[in-house]
Amino acid sequence: MGSAVAEALLRDGHEVIAITRDAANAAALKEKGASIAVADLYDVDAMRDVFRKGKRLFLLNPPAKPDTDTDRAENETARLLLAAVEGSGLEKIVAESTYGAQPGEQLGDLNTLHTMEEGLRDQRVPTTILRAAYYFSNWDAMLETVREGTLPTMYPADLKLPMVAPADLGDAAADLLTAPVEETGIVHVEGPTRYSSRDVADAFAHTLGRKVEVAVTPRDHWEETYRSLGFSEEAAHSYARMTAITADGDYEMPNEPVRGSTTLQDYIDALVERD
């Protein structure tokens, strides 16, 4: 997401500072004209010093490693980012959150990003919250399994969900960053239409020229499945609860989201071509 936002801003001729722990990770952005600042998220003073070099900030709380207690880790990194914002002199923030962000505990990204949203509301810098739909890129890891004819999913096969391409989120975030300071609030961003897991399987089938079946994991196997993927006990429980909220539609669905232009089929075609 950070690269998508930076690239959108650079295309429009803006000066961009990309913040990273390892300069090598931002080499491609440097070639495209971005300045690179190296700082450790856990060093609040260093992060604040970097924030002071810019006027507007795209803020993304990084996902914790799944083999940790992800709720605890993400709440801590959000706290550190908020501390770095204090005294930074920034004039505007655009922070990425998620569809379904809500208060609670052990709800995966839904509660940790809601906590971040609340923290941003309590500080002085004008802030826009970008609530992103389910990333198309979440399906990338399924490519090899799909090549064998099966798309695993925890969602009902025909459940339509808001989904979006990361590049479209980058464009939306760039627009929000360059909007007038007084334009704040919550903005939902999704793709041109909503898609189901079966739609994803059909898109892969169209690109690969073979039949792809949807394999739905039963709800009572979700935690076990997450653990088999390397998630800790705490993270598996938290992510299973988040998955249930999404599957049950127990969250706010916007009436007028900002819509990107990248279709699921366009994204899958590009993914297979890159592989």
Q: What is the pTM of this model?
A: 0.95
One-letter amino acid at 162 equals: P
pLDDT at 95: 98
- pLDDT averaged over every residue in the chain: 97
List, as one string, the DSSP characters of 112-146: HHHHHHHHHHTSSS-EEEEEE-EEGGGGGGGHHHH
Tens of pLDDT, residues 68-81: 999 999 999 999 99
Q: Under DSSP, is residue 17 helix (H, G, I), strand (E, B) or coil?
A: strand
pLDDT above 90: percentage of residues in the chain: 98
Measured CA distances, 140 to 165, 189, 194, 216 (Å): 12, 20, 18, 17
Could you give the number of structural domains in the chain? 1
Q: To which residue do tokens 């509660």 refer?
A: 111
Question: Can you tell me the mean pLDDT for 84-108?
Answer: 97
pLDDT at 48: 97
CATH number of residue 263's parent domain? 3.40.50.720
Tens of pLDDT, residues 15-60: 999 999 999 989 999 999 999 999 999 999 999 999 999 999 999 9
Q: How far apart are CA 100 and CA 162, in angstroms?
A: 11
Tens of pLDDT, residues 223-271: 999 999 999 999 999 999 999 999 999 998 999 999 999 999 999 999 9
Q: How far apart are CA 43 and CA 49, in angstroms?
A: 10
At residue 159, φ and ψ (nearest 5 deg) are: -75, 120
Strands 161-164, 194-195: pairing is antiparallel
261 burial class (0-12, 13-18, 19+ CB within 10 angstroms)? exposed
Residue from 128, 269, 253 nearest 208 by CA: 269
Helix (H) or strand (E) holding 13: none
pLDDT above 70: percentage of residues in the chain: 100
pLDDT at 83: 97
Q: In which region does residue 162 sit, left (phi positive, over 0), alpha (psi from -120 to 50) or beta (all else)? A: beta
Residues 6+ apart with CB under 8 A from 122: none
pLDDT at 275: 84
Tell me how crowded residue 144 is: count the other CB atoms within 10 A of its CB: 8
Which residues span the domain enclosing 7?
2-274
Residue 101 has pLDDT above 90, yes or no: yes
